[in-house]
Structure formats: structure tokens, C-alpha cells
């Protein structure tokens, strides 16, 4: 068996060492143009040349939860795409979103601004019942986030394309439930996969349906959000602000309005980072299962190219 590693913007040596430790009797190599055929590939943003030169691949293991960039390429016809289904990212995402929700709800951003001015201030406590949180996307990450928010006694709503049930969460689904979900939400969290159907899903029309004083948290992909629509709704007073971790262009251009807008908090795509050891263990376990004869369709994280996730 041979495993090929082809990940841009990633230090190869630690990944190669971990994969070689998991498969000491097999060949694990970093891809170079013209390399010998491999059985499996561990990838992140691979060039098209790699995919064209490896038509025999059985599976591509993507070292991240999002596969939108990979699915835009011409993939080997026989290769399944397998994403990380957790690998330590869900707890990070829950931490990030809960922090952003609580920071807004408790007005810690306003307290911070007052402290910088040397001002000792007081604000009347707000009611959690007035701040229902809506989570768009109830996959592995979205469900973990929704359950974490419910632990803080926020009313939590969830929306997904197909029906889901999450304890403690009021769930909506499909186009029929989307408007009701939005109108029941004050703090909107986006954890959707990026597909043609979800691109620009947060626009003037949809965000206007949020309860007055709405707040937006985007930790999915920048292309889910129409930037100018968000700013217009914040400036109009309909939205109170936003916390954004993902952007259409990354790094975020220096001239972008998000940097300096007083009601927008920016973080550099750090809500949930890939944890190498956990990811290697997950990928190695799936490869070992395939080598033992398990059908690839039974693995967790296998992507349906038609759905995009």
C-alpha cells in the first residue's frame, strides 16, 4: 500500500512522521510531480496536476471539515472524498461560538470599550429568553455547537436541509422551515457547508428576517455572507453587529471595511484548527478499515459530491 501526502501551506514532515508511524510497513511519501501511483491520498488544496497524475486513487482524505475547494477540481473517477468528521474541531468550534454569543449577550465588548476610556459602567442584565440563537447547519460541528449553547440556557434553534433531532434544540428543516427559523432567531450562527445552494445565503433578504437587534456569527465560509448587505443592515440599526472568522478573501484585505467597523469583530480563521495527532489517528483508522475490506460507503465523513458535503 502507498499513501501520498499533498497538502499546500502545511508542514509535511510531522504529518509524514505520524502516518509512517501508523503504517510502518507501507510507503508514505510526499507527492512530487511524476511520483509513482498511490492507493490513498491525504490532501489539502492539492493542485489539479496531482489529481490528474493519480487517477487510480481509492480515496482522498481531506485534512479539514470543508471540502468545497476540493470538489471544484476534476477528481479521479474512482476516488471517494472523505472529510474529517471531528478530530478535535467540534469542541474548539463550540468554545469559539459560545464565547462570541456570551460576549455579545453580556455586552463585554461595550464594557471593554468603557474600560479603555477609564469609565466604570453598569448595564442592566438582559434576559436569555430575548436572545434565541439559531444555528444553521447541524452536522458534527453544528450539533456540538447547538448542544453547548443550550447548556447556557439560551433558547436554541437549528436549521438543516434534511430533518434532524437534537436534544434541547428546536429544529427546522428545508426551504419550508427556513423563514420560520430566521424569524425565531436573534443571534445567527452559520456552520453550513459551502455549496451552490448555500453561497450568499446570508444576504439582505434573509438577514432582514432576524429579530430586531440581530447578531451574526460566521464560522463556516466567507462566501456564505454578502458583505455589503451585512454592513448596510448594521448601519441601519436592524443588526447589532457581527463576529466573523471567515472571509471571501483570506487574509482579509487591509482596506476591507470589516477591519475598522466598530460593530464587527474579526478573527483570522481560527475558530477551529485541524489538530494533527487526532486527524492522523482518524485517517489512519479509516485507511486500516478499508484495507481490512470495509466498504468505503460505511465510513464516517464520506462526501456526497452532488450535495457538496
Known catalytic residues are 221, 269
Strand ranges inside the chain, DSSP E:
2-7, 27-30, 40-44, 59-62, 80-83, 133-136, 156-160, 170-173, 187-190, 214-218, 239-244, 264-266
Cell matching residue 102? 456570551
First to last CA, the chain: 27
DSSP state of 196: T
Residue 62 cell numbers, joined: 481531506
- Exposure of 12 by Cβ count < 10 A (0-12 exposed, 13-18 middle, 19+ buried)? middle
Distance of CA 23 to the CA centre of its chain: 30
Give me 75's grid cell: 477528481
Amino acid at each position: 500500500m502507498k499513501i501520498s501526502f499533498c497538502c499546500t501551506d502545511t508542514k509535511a514532515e510531522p504529518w509524514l512522521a505520524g502516518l509512517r508511524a501508523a503504517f510502518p510497513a507501507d510507503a508514505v511519501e510526499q507527492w512530487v510531480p511524476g511520483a509513482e501511483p498511490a492507493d490513498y491520498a491525504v490532501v489539502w488544496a492539492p493542485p489539479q496536476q496531482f489529481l490528474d497524475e493519480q487517477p487510480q486513487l481509492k480515496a482522498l482524505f481531506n485534512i479539514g471539515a470543508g471540502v468545497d475547494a476540493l470538489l471544484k477540481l476534476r477528481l479521479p473517477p474512482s476516488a471517494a472524498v472523505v472529510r474529517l468528521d471531528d478530530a478535535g474541531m467540534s469542541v474548539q468550534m463550540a468554545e469559539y461560538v459560545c464565547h462570541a454569543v456570551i460576549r455579545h449577550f453580556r455586552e463585554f465588548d461595550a464594557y471593554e470599550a468603557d474600560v479603555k476610556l477609564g469609565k466604570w459602567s453598569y448595564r442592566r442584565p438582559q434576559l436569555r429568553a430575548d436572545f434565541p440563537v439559531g444555528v444553521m447547519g447541524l452536522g458534527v460541528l453544528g450539533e456540538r455547537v447547538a448542544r453547548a449553547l443550550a447548556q447556557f440556557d439560551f433558547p436554541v434553534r437549528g436549521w438543516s436541509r434534511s430533518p434532524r433531532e437534537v436534544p434541547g434544540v428546536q429544529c427546522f428543516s428545508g426551504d419550508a422551515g427556513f423563514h420560520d427559523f430566521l424569524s425565531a432567531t436573534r443571534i445567527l450562527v452559520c456552520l453550513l457547508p459551502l455549496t451552490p445552494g448555500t453561497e450568499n445565503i446570508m444576504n439582505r433578504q434573509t438577514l432582514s428576517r432576524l429579530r430586531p437587534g440581530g447578531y451574526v456569527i460566521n464560522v463556516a465560509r466567507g462566501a456564505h455572507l454578502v458583505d455589503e448587505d451585512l454592513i448596510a443592515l448594521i448601519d441601519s440599526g436592524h443588526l447589532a453587529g457581527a463576529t466573523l472568522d471567515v472571509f471571501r478573501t483570506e487574509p482579509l484585505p487591509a482596506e476591507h471595511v470589516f477591519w475598522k467597523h466598530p460593530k464587527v469583530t474579526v478573527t483570522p480563521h481560527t475558530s477551529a484548527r485541524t489538530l494533527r495527532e487526532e486527524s492522523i489517528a482518524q485517517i489512519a483508522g479509516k485507511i486500516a478499515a478499508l484495507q481490512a475490506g470495509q466498504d468505503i460507503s460505511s465510513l464516517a465523513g464520506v462526501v456526497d459530491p452532488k450535495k457538496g458535503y
